[in-house]
Amino acid sequence: MTTSATVPATPGTTATAGTGKLAMLGGRRAVPRDLRIAPWPQVTEEDRQAVLDALDSGRFTTASAGEQEIPGLEQEWAAFTGTRHAVAVSNGTAAISLALGALGIEPGDEVIVPALSFIATAAAPLHLMAVPVFVDIDPRTYNMTAAAVEAAITPRTRAIVVVHLHGLPVDMDEIGAVARRHGIPVVEDAAQAHGAEYRGRKVGSIGAINTFSLNVSKNLATCGEGGLITTDDERLATRALMLRQFGELIPGRGERSYVSHLLGWNNKPSALQAAFTRSQLARFPAEAAQRDTNVRALLDRVAALPGFLAPGAPEDRTHAWHILRFRVDPAAFGLDDHLAGPLRATVQRALRAEGVPAAPYQLMPLPAQKVFREKRGLGGYPWALPGVPERPFREEDFPVTHRVIDDSFALQKAHLHPGAGPLLQRYADAFEKVWEHRDTLAGVAASLPYTHPWEQAAGIAATEWDTAFGTGTTEGTGA
Ligand SMILES: *Cc1c(COP(=O)(O)O)cnc(C)c1O
């Protein structure tokens, strides 16, 4: 069960000049309450008009003759990313499954994925009955490394899904070299990295076939759910199109044949959502540039505080700043390394009290999610297929992912709006205030009852299951 971390009042805390008492201890917030987070995605008059025009057109899906918004979005996104083909789909998770399906991934094939990502990255191969094989991450970029990928390759490996986590591109040249040496295609899951560049190329234009999400939480959003696939390979694009619509080959003009050549899904996008995203895309470059300015101004101030490891980008790539992850450094707070987790929990709490919505992003490594760890969802398959090796989850295989989940917190969404600059300056004030009170916070951290996030998650999982299905019911695997 979870132990809720209570913060004892610390007697004798004196107000520091300029910043004052911590809000956690009854002081004034660094972020005034009337400074609100602007809603994301922003909906302008142009966006509204674009959706209304699509509505008035009476053409709502790819199957509506003469529909222009979906092919329009596809052409514009292909041009934006510098790829030959783009295929719009119903969401980013479907985009990954379709991309893998287009590559011909089959049951029992292995697909390498990072241990730190959103669940979709690893669920997508599983929907094809492929086996996700997880690799640990780099402690600075939070991305998978070429060395880790190479170590995970087996004769069954059929694809490598790289995730540009939080908006920072992975080292595509290094991973590409490993992939080429083994003849394995790379799929970019760029759901968090719209517009980011690696060595002058946009993400989504480097792997064999690549994916984006247009979920409302992402840097490029639709008014609901959506996704995009990009590729330079015409055959892969055609296969993705087929998988989007029942395995059918859709003619450019003329009658639909209703012949299903492959097992496809129904993952068509909607024209209204395509119209909305096209309208967002028109101002995306300007907004991304403004976001870059706003976020860098925050990060410059946080990076000056020795207690925090702020995100950044190596010289050869840009960061889309989808999520801002900060690690805490226990040594800088005068604490032993084993107190990294309690320190993070304390600092997170202090920042939240100041008005900064610091929160965890992922409570556990992906391979620890029950669906993988307990082989759930497809009646024990694909793991029960002949020849699939046993790979029990072992905490020690993912030391960096565990450490990062323990000692870092994230800022999401609040910084996406291009008008967030002034708000982010108040966030920087809060970080500085928290750092000034580091001795107080170190004292709190050292006395804090602490449960690791993945243990908390296990408690939450059990409680939720019992609430839904009754205490004592077996958590069946479906087998
Ligand atoms: C959001 C996200 C997805 C899934 O996108 P949906 O549109 O929500 O299905 C996949 N991968 C990553 C890394 C994501 O952040």
8 A C-beta contact, residue 22 and residue 353? yes
Express each pLDDT in 410-457 by its tens digit.
999 999 999 999 999 999 999 999 999 999 999 999 999 999 999 999
What integer is the mean pLDDT of 64-85? 96
Amino acid at 461: A
> Which of 270, 271, 268, 265 is closest to 243 using CA atoms?
265
Q: Are residues 270 and 313 in the same domain?
A: no
Q: Are residues 50 and 152 in the same domain?
A: yes
DSSP string, 429-469: HHHHHHHHTHHHHHHHHHT-----HHHHHHHHHHHHHHHHH
Of 262, 226, 223, the closest CA to residue 241 belongs to 262
Q: Is 218 a catalytic residue?
A: yes
Segment (H or E) for 179: helix 172-182
Are 132 and 96 contacting, i.e. CB atoms less than 8 angstroms apart? no
Beta bridge partners of 198: 201, 317
163 alpha carbon to ligand 1 midpoint, in Å? 10
- Measured CA to CA, the distance from residue 140 to residue 310 in angstroms comes to 9
Q: Which tokens go with 422? A: 């002034």
Together in a domain, 258 and 301: no
Domain of 226: which CATH number? 3.40.640.10
Confidence of residue 461 (pLDDT cuts 50, 70, 90): confident
Q: Given the structure tokens 């905490």, which residue do they identify?
A: 395
Q: Report yes or no on 86 lying in a domain.
A: yes
Nearest residue by C-alpha to atom 2 in ligand 1: 191
Q: Do the domain assignments include residue 36?
A: no
Who has greater pLDDT, 8 or 148?
148
Query: Per-residue pLDDT tens for 260-308?
Result: 999 999 999 999 999 999 999 999 999 999 999 999 999 999 999 999 9
Q: 191 C-alpha vs ligand 1 centroid, how far in Å? A: 5
Tokens of 149: 């990928």
| Rounded distance between C-alpha atoms, residue 78 and residue 82, angstroms | 6
Q: Which domain holds residue 149?
A: 45-280
Of all protein residues, the one whose alpha carbon is nearest to atom 10 of ligand 1 is 120
Ligand 1 pocket, 163 CB below 6 A?
yes
- How many domains does the chain contain in total? 2
Same domain, 291 and 318: yes
Q: What percent of the chain has pLDDT over 90?
A: 87
Residue 81 and residue 131 in one domain: yes
Choosing from 218, 268, 413, 433, the catalytic residue is 218
Q: 7 near 445, Cβ under 8 Å?
A: no
Whether 345 and 264 share a structural domain: no
0.75 exceeded by pTM:
yes
Q: pLDDT value at position 253?
A: 67
Tokens coding 31:
């972020």
Burial 426-457 (b: 16+ CB within 10 A, else e): bbbbbbbbbbbbbebbbbbbbebebbbbbebb
Nearest to 149 by CA among 180, 187, 113: 113
Q: And the tokens for 335?
A: 């604490």
Q: Take residue 29 and report the two structure tokens written for it.
A: 């917030």
